[in-house]
Amino acid sequence: MSRRSWRAAAVALAAAVGLVAAGRTAQVRAADPLIVIRAGRLIDGRTFAPRRDQLVLVRGRRIEAVRDASEAPPAGATVIDLGAATVLPGLIDSHTHLFLQGEEPAEGGYDVQLLKYPLSFRVARATVSARRALEQGFTTLRDLETEGAGYGDVGLKQAIEKGYIPGPRLFVVTRAISTTGGYPLEDYAPEVEVPKGAQIVDGPVEARKAAREQLDHGADWIKVYMTHRSWVGKNGELASQPTMTVEELRAVVDETHGWGKKVACHAYSGTGLHRALDGGCDSIEHGLDLDDSAISQMLKQGTWYVPTLSVYYTDWAAPDTPDGQRDRLRASAHEISFKKALKAGVKIVYGTDMGGIPWTEPIAQDFPRMVEFGMQPMDAIQSATSRAAVMLDMEGKIGVIAPGAFADVIGVSADPLRDIKLLENVDFVMKDGQVFRGK
Ligand SMILES: [Zn+2]
């Protein structure tokens, strides 16, 4: 084929594809049936007061309108009557690990994941975790690193988006970044080279390169570890080992922000926590011991706080051991930090660290803990809906029941504002306009 005829053929093909694509879109739009969800109570994710007796009109992937149920549903619409149920936006967990399964010590703990399991086995299990999340009404996850499973999260996200497997919308970080001495696997003979659960860097040049690689291969966010080991310090404080320097972190943040993306920082306390803030982290993960200066800096910089409370209340070592004392201090310091951050008005976003917790447990288990620590139930719900959406640059698209948003809609049998634990029993789940669970 001559160059000219090749070009002509290419133009003709492009035109044909364009026409077909445009025609198909138009046809699908016109043919998309209208689904009407009738709800006894609606929590829209954004406003503070619930509304009684509402209709949510869904066409295709989107919410078309929200109306009072005193109006009759449009003729020809499929009505899903949820009776007295409370309808909410699909929930968002902003700190999960689909590629971890609770690391039961009896099953070989963390190390076996990296040392013995083929990647295919880990991916297969991650698909089950993703399904578990969707079943429980979590229609979006920010999954905060694959723990040695490389770029497995990027492929998992593709498989969900293309409809091969059910699962939530995923925001993925791929490998995560830490420094030498800053992440497992560890405690092996120095002569033995073992894989690491994160990409290890030393120096700003390597740090920037790691961020570039991960962004290039599909990371939606970058995750860095700013602290690693923790223990009870000389003065009874929660001490933690800092990992990256401010210079290393700044290289990562500068690179990532250049791509229009954000950086999540695992940070417990002390020097590492302050470096995370000085280096410009967008979200602080865990933040077990937030001192007053950290809180004021978070307010000033608009830093998000993803506390992940529940994971620190289980699997404590025996009380008379250093680890046991450390475990108890982590929980008690965390409670104080959460309460201070809440009072100060830090932007708190729902996150659990699922994967650190087995996926067989309820993902909604952090809600009762947040409420126990003084958060209003509606505030806790918004931390997992509209507020998380803002952090994820998805404001108005997810985490809200409003016209134009993706039709991610869940239902619970009664009023979660009276009993927040109801969110552990979601019995209707729609994602992207498709009913996954319930009627
Ligand atoms: Zn985590």
Helices and strands (DSSP H and E) totals, the chain: 12, 20
Q: How far, in Å, is the centroid of ligand 1 from the Cα of 160?
A: 22
**What's the CA-to-centroid distance between 194 and ligand 1, angstroms?**
21
Span from the CA of 430 to the centroid of ligand 1 (angstroms) = 27
- Amino acid occupying residue 277: L
| pLDDT confidence bin for 31, thresholds 50/70/90 | confident
Residue 127 has pLDDT above 90, yes or no: yes
- Separation of CA 146 and ligand 1 centre (Å): 10
Residue 105's pLDDT band (boundaries 50, 70, 90)?
Answer: confident
pTM, two decimals, is 0.92
- Residue 97 CA to ligand 1 center (angstroms) comes to 6
Q: How many Å lie between the centroid of ligand 1 and the Cα of residue 222?
A: 13
Q: Does residue 23 register a pLDDT over 60? A: no
Tens-digit pLDDT profile for residues 32-45: 999 999 999 999 99
pLDDT band at 315 (very low <50, low <70, confident <90, very high): confident
The answer for 174, left when phi > 0, alpha when psi is -120 to 50, beta otherwise, is: left
| Predicted confidence band of residue 348 (pLDDT cuts 50, 70, 90) | very high
| Most distant CA pair in the chain, distance | 82
C-alpha 343, offset from chain centre: 24
Ligand 1 centroid distance, CA of 305 (Å): 13
Convert the pLDDT of each residue in 187-217 to its tens digit.
Answer: 999 999 999 999 999 999 999 999 999 999 9
Average pLDDT of the chain, as a whole number: 93
Per-residue model confidence (pLDDT) at position 163: 96
So what's the pLDDT on residue 329?
95
Q: In sequence order, which residues have a C-beta less than 8 Å from that of residue 133 and are 6 or more positions away?
A: 93, 96, 98, 141, 167, 168, 354, 359, 363
Beta bridge partners of 264: 223, 283
Instruction: Give distance in angstroms: CA of 178 to centre of ligand 1.
Output: 13
CA–centroid distance, residue 428 to ligand 1 (Å): 28
C-alpha triplet 305, 306, 308: angle, nearest 5°: 140
Percent of the chain with pLDDT over 70: 93
* Per-residue pLDDT reduced to its tens digit, 133-171: 999 999 999 999 999 999 999 999 999 999 999 999 999
In the prediction, which pLDDT does 15 show?
Answer: 40
**225 CA to centre of ligand 1 in angstroms:** 10
How far away, in angstroms, is 284 Cα from ligand 1 center? 11
Q: Give the pLDDT of residue 30.
A: 56
Mean pLDDT of the region 390-396: 98
